Amino acid sequence: MTDGCPCGTPRTRGKICFVGAGPGDPDLITVKGRKLLEQAGAILYAGSLVDRAATRYAPPDCEIRDSKDMTLEEIVDWLREKAARHALVVRLQTGDPSLYGALIEMTRPLEREGFDWEVVPGISSAMASMAVARETMTLPEVTQTVILTRAAGRTSMPEGEDLESLAAHHCTLCVYLSATLIHEVQRALRAAGWREDAPLLVVQKASWQGEEKIVRGTLADIREKCQAEKIGSQAMIVASPALGSSAWETLVRSKLYDPAFTHRFRRGLRRQHESS
């Protein structure tokens, strides 16, 4: 899009891309995200959450700014200013921009002013936490539902989304932004009927080399274990009936890979026997 400058010469606005940096390891950014960083004239990254190593893909002359001390208005102003000077500006956000990323708050004014913008998804810390802990979010006939949520803190929860109500489903809960409220997570799970020996997982800075911590416990002792490891922020809390399933004696098989299951790419063994 173009607009007029004081001299009357048309000026082209650059594109603004909101890129998910992933959970911390710079190698976990998407290929598309990395390519955009390599082409960017300016990068505004969330320094309180994104490892600065994620900007290592930026060209030498790229303008790079940490946003951790900026307000929403200052962030939007910075993006506006740089888009007037560069063909491509990247807002590099932790995890995925659409999840607790204030995405719409930043894009609404840009949209109103006609800026060209795009979102590039990233790996969320919930997925990274399960990966480094070698756990699964879903398991046949155990849980097939995953809830991504947070405990109520300074930001209140909408009606019907309190943690106790969500925990009543007894499925996999991935609780963001709540490491300092783990006692509230315990209270909600207990109120929802979870047993004291229910397994819980807490992962701090999943995929951050040299800083990652994995804590396994139960509803009864997870808070004390986290305190012992000095975990106070940037941690994912997972409660799931599927935790620890790799050590179970028996599992229900996934139908897709069951020899007897027929789908459009393979005929099940039973039908082969019946037709022979």
Residue 104 lies in a domain: yes
Beta bridge partners of 28: none
Residues 86 and 135 reside in one and the same domain: no
Residues 132 and 218 reside in one and the same domain: yes
* pLDDT score, position 39: 97
How far is it between the farthest Cα atoms of the chain? 83
Predicted TM-score (pTM) of the model is: 0.86
Domain housing 93: 2-120
Residues 94 and 133 reside in one and the same domain: no
Looking at this protein, which amino acid is placed at residue 70? M
pLDDT band of residue 256 (cuts 50, 70, 90) is low
Residue 77 sits in a domain whose CATH number is 3.40.1010.10
Chain mean position to CA 61: 30
Residue 76 lies in a domain: yes
Residues 179 and 229 reside in one and the same domain: yes
Contact call for residues 201 and 243 (beta carbons, < 8 A): yes
pLDDT in tens, 66-82: 999 999 999 999 999 99
Residues 114 and 137 reside in one and the same domain: no
Average pLDDT over residues 33-58: 90
Q: Which of 120, 151, 186 is the last residue of a domain?
A: 120
Residue 255 lies in a domain: no
Residues 6 and 115 reside in one and the same domain: yes
Residue 215 sits in a domain whose CATH number is 3.30.950.10
pLDDT band of residue 9 (cuts 50, 70, 90) is very low
- Any alpha helices (H) in the chain, and if so which ranges? 31-39, 72-83, 103-112, 125-133, 163-167, 182-191, 222-228, 269-275
Q: Position of tokens 């894009």?
A: 107
DSSP 209: T
pLDDT in tens, 142-182: 999 999 999 988 788 898 999 999 999 999 999 999 999 99
Residue 145 lies in a domain: yes
Residue 30 lies in a domain: yes
Round to whole Å and give the CA distance between 276 and 154: 66
Average pLDDT over residues 239-245: 96
Structure token pair of residue 143: 């849980």
pLDDT in tens, 76-131: 999 999 999 999 999 999 999 999 999 999 999 999 999 999 999 999 999 999 99
| Percent of the chain whose predicted confidence (pLDDT) is above 90 | 75
Query: Which of these, 170, 180, 128, lies nearest to 147 by C-alpha position?
Result: 170
Residues 173 and 114 reside in one and the same domain: no
Round to whole Å and give the CA distance between 146 and 230: 27
Residues 167 and 191 reside in one and the same domain: yes
Residue 273 lies in a domain: no
Q: Which of 103, 120, 137 is the last residue of a domain?
A: 120
Residues 235 and 151 reside in one and the same domain: yes
Residues 11 and 74 reside in one and the same domain: yes
pLDDT(11) > 60: no
Residues 130 and 114 reside in one and the same domain: no
Residue 251 lies in a domain: no
Question: What total of structural domains would you count in the chain?
Answer: 2
Residue 228 lies in a domain: yes
Q: Which of 120, 136, 163 is the last residue of a domain?
A: 120
Residues 112 and 204 reside in one and the same domain: no
Sheet holding 213-218, edge to edge: 146-150, 172-176, 235-239, 199-204, 213-218
